[in-house]
Amino acid sequence: MFNKKNPIIHRYLSNGMEVYLHPSDFAPVVSIQILVKTGSLDEEDQEKKEGGMAHVLEHMLFKGTKKYPLTGQIASTVEFEGGDINAYTTFDHTNYHLTAPSTFALKGSELLLDVVQNSTLDKEELTRELEVIIEEIKRYRDNPNAVVSHNLFALFYEGTRMANPVIGFEEVVQNFKRDDIYHFYKKWYIPNNMIFIASGDFNSQEMLEHLTKLSEDFLPQTLPLRERPALSVKKEKYEPKALIERGSWQEIRVQLATQAPALEDHDMPIWDVFASILGEIDTSRLNRILRDEMQIVTSIDCSCYTPKYPCGMLGIGFFGMAHNSLHALKIIVQEIRRLSEVPPTREELTRVLNTLKAQRIYSRESMDGISRCAGLSLQTSQKMEFENLYMQSVSKVTPEQIRATAQKVMTQLEQGNFHISVTLANEALPEITEKDFINAVLHSANMIHPNKEPLELSLRQSNKPNYLKEDWLAFYQKKSSETNPDVKQIKIALPFGKVLKINYRLSKRLPVTSGMLLLQGGMMSEPSDKNGTSGLMASMLTRGTQRQNYRKFIEELEDNASSISAFASRDLFGMRFDSISENSLRTAQMLLDCLFRPEFSYSEWTRTHKETIEVIIAQKDSPNAVLAKISHPLLFPSHRYSFSGIGTEQSLSNIVKEDIHKNWSDLFNAQEFVFSIAGDFDLRSFVNLIETEFKTFFDSFYEKKEHPKQSTPPFPTEHDELVGFHELQREQAHITVSFRSYPISDPRRTALEIGATILAGQGGRLFLDLRDKKSLAYAVSASQSPNVLAGVFTAYIATAAHKSREAIEGLKSHIEQLAQELPTLDEVKRAQQTVLGSQSIESQHHSYQASQLAMSDVYGLEFDNFLRFTERVNAVTPEMVSSVLKSLLSENPPVITIVGPKETWIPNKNDPVLKWNL
């Protein structure tokens, strides 16, 4: 809403910098971005040859200015205030962004402006940072999803600079010189080539005056001419191209692309809707046919990539088992043809439009979201009118326009105007060639298929539940938080001595509601030979109910722009929903249907079981997933905490559908059930619905059972296996140094979190030493994760295999040093502000609020325990950090896990690295 005293401001400063200021006071947070309208496309051939300079510059600008000369000082300054600073580079722009508590608004804008105009670009720092970027490139090449996407761009945009990766190539990047980087910096980083965007809790006029003063010496220059060689869109003859890249991967990944409009073309919104109907949402045609009905892909997606230059790309990507890939391509083309012959139903179109409208609402849930939306719009010729014009165009899309778009796509495919990128396991389909993939599309595109009318569905909305008496709230046991009276609880007694708690927080800022149902369960309830049962059960709950089969269920959710999910962790079972407010009560009713009336159909069981096994296979391509799989048994020997999150291929082979039903039935052995709600909703209707559903179930269907007591996992000892290694032929080794820590109920875990944060972050010890000083890695971090019975403290690094020993010793020595020597007051203050700032930023989202409202109760703490987090964090002292670490290190040895190539160094049983040096 427009505020005359604190208005939205959009104007240009005298130096040509565009400024957009959007004040909003719904959270004490500010989001600041400086968008430099320069990316890898602006790198001249003599400057770069193969790309990567714009990305290198993005890294270097955080390395120091005259005002912040020390390495890590910029990030530390932001983290000290509880904020986060980062950047990313694209083909046509580079974005420097900062999110922090609103008290840092003016100082944050000053810092970002200093970064983009006064970087020192120190020569020695550049040498070290280039090594870090080489590690980032290796990480990129190790990821099959990144490889398949890069190869597609290389084919599709051949002849333009968009064919090269923004990150660049190792052999080119390692030879960049400081003078070349500096030349690029001063050429493009000028105020009349920048957009300053800020949203949050600040005074817009004060911010404008501040920016005007800061920019007095930031002088404009003549903007260089941009080279934009056009991509030939219209040709007499097209030659489709395909590229297969093999590697030590599991499932096949395939991406098919053909031409689409650019960002500001008038028919771009129509193509977006077409892509959504075809394959962007759960009920879209390709998901329903290929994933759900035929089960020949694990996942599939369709979307439009719409840059400003030189033309857009309609991309369809899927992954699954290799032997199904050619058949899947044929079905994709057949479904596009079907849309070109018979337009989509009005229900399909309405569902997509509702989804797009809901996305627009959710994008305004945080200050970052507001800034991101503004950044996109300001890069277009329509400026801040772009989003409104886009939504107006989307709302006017007709079924006939979708059919006409499908006809254009079919014509392009028939003409051979497409490209295909594939990543494939070394040993899979040894005889297959690029020509086979091209022919699969061409043959299917040029075949004639009979028309088949799509199935039309409509669902009646359920009647609203009856309301209680006018003085309804007086009948409940209720309380408000002393810390924040907006946080409240209603407590309801259930049969068999069980308790239902409804924790809630009302907010009318946005028409959005989020909710969470939480209770104790998860992997701790699984038989030892049937690991994965709880995860399968959670997946099955949202696969249809006794009132709606899966297809009707998911269609109604998307019609209502809502989502429902279920999950099982080590200790907990939970369900979540997010909805626009007008549909929130119906969405909650559907969630409770899933909980109390699951269908558990055999067809959905077969499909879910198969999909889960495919996910387990795909996880073998993820070093982080493999690290978790091999570290848990070492950290939790002979205990259920050692189980895999979704099971293993072997354990899933032991599970039958009856096991899922038993696991679901066992859920209700819990003594307490917590349903949390945050956002804009009618409390009376929600309480009536939730209470009625729970009491009906326990009155009519529940049979009392014994609830087994859970045992605390034993600590590993020096005599246990302490090293886990999994060979994975990649360019990097992924390493963790871990040890057991406290359960969530132990108050000492707060000091441990501060200790992890002292090590982590861009201003943390690991980043400053192992990344900035020693150039061992691009990614390095530390974290602690508490659970009900025990937690884990983990330090992580990804590095070249020949650097693995130095990396392991570096992680271990920093943990030891923090236990032996007190951190400085400044380090503790930075960590405290980082943790609190992160919580403040996350708290903007209703889904985060709902999870916090539920978690405290289920973990056995007070329902508003999360509101005292600031008090607990600020009470931590340097002595507490060192003491808690020293105590833990004395109790259990370091556990080291490594995933990487066979030449990676692995410590033997007697290596000193397997004992803490205290």
Residue 639 has pLDDT above 50, yes or no: yes
Judged by DSSP in three states, 375 sits in helix
Residue 233 has pLDDT above 80, yes or no: no
Structure tokens at 125: 């720092």
Q: Stretch 678-683: mean pLDDT, rounded?
A: 94
Residue 48 has pLDDT above 80, yes or no: no
**Is the domain defined by 723-914 classed in CATH 3.30.830.10?**
yes
| pLDDT grade for 357, boundaries at 50, 70 and 90 | confident
Position with higher pLDDT, 1 vs 454: 1
Tell me phi and psi for residue 375, to 5 degrees. -60, -40
| pLDDT grade for 638, boundaries at 50, 70 and 90 | confident
In angstroms, how far apart are the furthest CA atoms of the chain? 79
Mean pLDDT of all residues in the chain? 91
109-155 tens-digit pLDDT: 999 999 999 999 999 999 999 999 999 999 999 999 999 999 999 99
Give the model's pLDDT for residue 471: 65
Q: Kindly state the helix (H) or strand (E) to which residue 414 belongs, with its residue range.
A: helix 399-414
489-503 tens-digit pLDDT: 999 999 999 999 999
Q: How many CB atoms lie within 10 A of CB 742?
A: 21
Give the model's pLDDT for residue 280: 86
First to last CA, the chain: 59
Give the model's pLDDT for residue 446: 84
Q: Model-level pTM?
A: 0.86
Give the model's pLDDT for residue 576: 97
| pLDDT grade for 276, boundaries at 50, 70 and 90 | very high
Give the model's pLDDT for residue 467: 38
Structure tokens at 576: 């979540």
Q: Stretch 285-311: mean pLDDT, rounded?
A: 90
User: Which of 159-163, 186-190, 445-449 bottoms out in mean pLDDT, i.e. has the lowest?
Assistant: 445-449
Give the model's pLDDT for residue 453: 34
Give the model's pLDDT for residue 458: 28
Tell me phi and psi for residue 732, to 5 degrees. -120, 155
* β-pair partners for 777: 799
Give the model's pLDDT for residue 15: 96
| pLDDT grade for 456, boundaries at 50, 70 and 90 | very low
CATH architecture of 9-214: 2-Layer Sandwich (3.30)
340-351 tens-digit pLDDT: 988 898 888 998
Side chain identity at residue 118, one-letter code: N
Give the model's pLDDT for residue 45: 63
Give the model's pLDDT for residue 699: 82
Residue 466 has pLDDT above 90, yes or no: no
Side chain identity at residue 671, one-letter code: Q
Q: Stretch 199-225: mean pLDDT, rounded?
A: 95
User: Which of 193-207, 330-344, 664-678 bottoms out in mean pLDDT, i.e. has the lowest?
Assistant: 330-344
Give the model's pLDDT for residue 364: 87
Give the model's pLDDT for residue 230: 63
Give the model's pLDDT for residue 232: 60
Q: What is the DSSP letter of 258?
A: E
Give the model's pLDDT for residue 464: 37
| pLDDT grade for 314, boundaries at 50, 70 and 90 | very high
Residue 775 has pLDDT above 70, yes or no: yes
763/63 Cα distance (integer angstroms)? 11
Give the model's pLDDT for residue 317: 97
Q: Stretch 304-321: mean pLDDT, rounded?
A: 92
Q: Stretch 359-372: mean pLDDT, rounded?
A: 90
Residue 408 has pLDDT above 80, yes or no: yes
Residue 517 has pLDDT above 60, yes or no: yes
Q: What topology does CATH give the domain 241-445?
A: Cytochrome Bc1 Complex; Chain A, domain 1 (3.30.830)
Structure tokens at 595: 């909980």
775/185 Cα distance (integer angstroms)? 23
Q: Stretch 549-563: mean pLDDT, rounded?
A: 91
Judged by DSSP in three states, 735 sits in strand
User: Which of 342-346, 728-732, 906-910 bottoms out in mean pLDDT, i.e. has the lowest?
Assistant: 342-346
User: Which homologous superfamily is 476-700 in?
Assistant: Metalloenzyme, LuxS/M16 peptidase-like (3.30.830.10)
Q: Which CB contacts under 8 angstroms, 24+ apart, belong to 684-687? A: 684/467, 684/468, 684/472, 684/473, 685/464, 685/465, 685/467, 685/585, 686/502, 686/504, 686/585, 686/588, 687/468, 687/472, 687/476, 687/490, 687/502
804-846 tens-digit pLDDT: 999 999 999 999 999 999 999 999 999 999 999 999 999 999 9
Residue 881 has pLDDT above 80, yes or no: yes
Residue 213 has pLDDT above 90, yes or no: yes
Over pLDDT 70: what percentage of the chain?
95
10 Å CB burial of residue 264 (0-12, 13-18, 19+) is: middle
Q: Cβ(775)–Cβ(911) under 8 Å?
A: no
**CATH 3.30.830.10 location in the chain:** 9-214, 241-445, 476-700, 723-914
* β-pair partners for 236: none
Give the model's pLDDT for residue 69: 93
Nearest to 490 by CA among 500, 481, 482: 500
Q: Whose structure tokens read 């009118």?
A: 385
| pLDDT grade for 451, boundaries at 50, 70 and 90 | very low
601-627 tens-digit pLDDT: 999 999 999 999 999 999 999 999 999
Nearest to 314 by CA among 271, 252, 367, 273: 271
Residue 370 has pLDDT above 90, yes or no: yes
Side chain identity at residue 133, one-letter code: I
Over pLDDT 90: what percentage of the chain?
76
Give the model's pLDDT for residue 252: 95
Q: Kindly state the helix (H) or strand (E) to which residue 720 belongs, with its residue range.
A: none
Give the model's pLDDT for residue 536: 97
